[in-house]
Every structure is written in structure tokens, then in C-alpha cells.
């Protein structure tokens, strides 16, 4: 039976809770310890346990074959590089959105809860649990190291500070309630020539008081980040801004650069 997990996406070093620099003897030792957790002779042979055990067989076969290990390491490094680049981009997007929402006077958060269960363990189960806990801690250390490396790469690759993005950004607001506009990210991007826009952030809807209205109205808000300050200045002056309630600089003042 072939494993149901996509083997190409599995990090065999994480599976064995070892660093990528581990020697062959360390790889084999980690395999022997980890296989206890899933070996059909040691634990109930559920589909999940059998899949994990077969993945371990694949891992030991690849990591102890010099040619196969070299190919796997190259593929793994490329995958980690893509993940790091994606994480870096998402980190910058999230940071910018948080900064902008703070300017809007909003605070967001998500409560977290932790639930645990208790049970009685046999001696063999306790040993397996101890090994699993050791492996978990090693995996956590590896994940933390990867996160730190990704953060370091993101900082090294950053070519401009967040304030520069703000300087190239404009904030638009539109009325949403009643006969108001239904605008999303795609609708905003389609109003401008391809390549002019770097990013669009949709912020939280808020009720505000505007000229000509006695009561507060629900306004949608978006921040459009252009590729250059010059493009942002041109758009501020020329639009298109049909039915848009207000347009202003995201940084609250016009930047000096062009």
C-alpha cells in the first residue's frame, strides 16, 4: 500500500527530527528510534501508522543513498526557499496592514485556548511517548530555526522600509450602505493600467460622519500601493474616482519623492 501523504512534500529530516547536516550513522539511529512509534509490531497498524512507517522506509532509503540524498537535498532547499520567500512577503503584507489599521484606530486579536486530556500509560507506551516528546521538541527547534532563517533572509532581501510603501500608497473610501458601491480588491485593481499597482489592502468597514449627512454612514476603506510615488501622485490628481467618497494619502501627507 502506497502512503496517502504526498511524499514529495515531506521533510524527511523533520520526520526523523534531525538536522540536514546529520551523518549517516545519526540518520540510521534516528530512524531506529522513530520507527518504534509506527512499527506494525509495536503499535496498532492503523492506516495512518502504516503510512508513516512507509514514509520512514522511503526516508531511510533516500537519505542513506548519496545520489538520491543529493537530489532530495536540492529539491528540499528549493522548496524551503520558496516557502521562505512566501513567508517574507506575507509578513510584510501583514505588517503593513496592521500598521494601517492602527492608523484607523482599530485593534484586532484572536483569543486562544489550550485543552488537555489525561490517561494512564503502560511502560511501553510511556517509552514511546517519551521518544515522541523528544522528537516533538527537536521538530519544534528545527521549525524555530527555519523561521529565524526565513526572517533573516526577509530582512536581508528587503529593499525598502515600510515607510516607503506608505509613501507610495493612497487611501480611498466609499459609501457601502443603501445604494452604495460594492467594491473589492479586483474591482480596484481593474481601474488602473496593469503593472501600476503593487498591492491592495482592504481595511475594516467603519461608520463615519461625512459632509451632507446627518448620521454616520458605513464606509468601505482600501489602501492602494503603487509601484512609484509618481504613479500615486498622478492617480491622486486624475482618478478614476467616480462615486468614490474620499481619496487621500495613506501617510496623511503628500510625499516629497517622485
β partners of residue 222: 172, 202
User: Above 90 in pLDDT, residue 148?
Assistant: no
Q: Which of 232, 229, 212, 214 is nearest to 171 (CA)?
A: 232
Rg (CA), the chain: 27
Nearest-angstrom CA–CA distance, 148 and 159: 19
Nearest-angstrom CA–CA distance, 75 and 95: 30
Where are the extended beta strands (E) located within the chain?
Answer: 169-175, 197-202, 206-208, 217-226, 246-249
Instruction: Compare 171 and 152 and report the one with higher pLDDT.
Output: 171
pLDDT in tens, 27-68: 999 999 999 999 988 888 899 989 999 999 999 999 999 999
Q: The whole model's pTM is what? A: 0.39
Find out whether 63 and 21 touch, Cβ atoms under 8 Å. no
- Enumerate the CATH 3.30.70.330 domain ranges in the chain, comma separated: 163-249
10-64 — its CATH code?
1.10.287.110
pLDDT in tens, 190-242: 777 767 888 888 888 888 887 777 788 888 888 888 888 888 888 888 766 77
- Enumerate the CATH 1.10.287.110 domain ranges in the chain, comma separated: 10-64
What pLDDT was estimated at residue 112?
39
Fold of 163-249: Alpha-Beta Plaits (3.30.70)
Report residue 163's pLDDT band, with 50, 70 and 90 as the boundaries: low
Question: What's the mean pLDDT in 118-137?
Answer: 78
Amino acid at each position: 500500500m502506497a502512503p496517502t501523504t504526498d511524499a514529495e512534500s515531506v521533510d524527511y529530516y523533520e520526520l526523523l527530527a534531525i538536522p540536514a547536516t546529520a551523518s549517516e550513522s545519526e540518520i540510521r539511529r534516528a530512524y531506529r528510534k522513530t520507527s518504534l512509534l509506527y512499527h506494525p509490531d509495536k503499535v496498532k497498524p492503523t492506516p495512518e501508522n502504516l503510512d508513516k512507517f512507509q514514509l520512514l522506509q522511503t526516508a531511510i532509503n533516500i537519505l542513506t543513498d548519496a545520489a538520491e540524498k543529493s537530489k532530495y537535498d536540492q529539491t528540499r532547499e528549493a522548496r524551503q526557499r520558496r516557502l521562505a520567500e512566501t513567508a517574507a512577503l506575507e509578513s510584510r503584507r501583514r505588517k503593513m496592514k496592521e500598521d494601517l489599521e492602527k492608523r484607523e484606530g482599530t485593534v484586532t486579536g484572536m483569543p486562544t485556548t489550550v485543552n488537555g486530556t489525561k490517561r494512564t500509560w503502560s511502560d511501553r507506551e510511556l517509552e514511546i511517548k517519551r521518544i515522541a516528546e523528544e522528537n516533538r521538541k527537536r521538530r519544534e527547534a528545527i521549525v524555530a530555526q527555519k523561521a529565524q532563517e526565513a526572517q533573516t533572509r526577509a530582512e536581508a532581501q528587503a529593499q525598502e522600509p515600510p515607510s516607503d510603501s506608505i509613501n507610495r500608497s493612497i487611501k480611498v473610501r466609499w459609501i457601502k450602505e443603501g445604494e452604495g458601491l460594492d467594491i473589492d480588491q479586483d474591482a480596484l485593481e481593474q481601474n488602473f493600467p496593469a503593472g501600476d499597482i503593487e498591492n491592495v489592502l482592504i481595511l475594516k468597514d467603519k461608520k463615519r460622519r461625512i459632509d451632507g449627512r446627518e448620521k454616520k454612514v458605513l464606509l468601505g476603506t482600501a489602501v492602494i500601493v503603487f509601484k512609484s510615488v509618481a504613479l500615486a501622485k498622478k492617480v491622486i490628481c486624475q482618478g478614476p474616482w467616480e462615486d468614490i467618497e474620499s481619496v487621500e494619502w495613506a501617510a496623511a501627507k503628500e510625499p516629497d519623492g517622485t
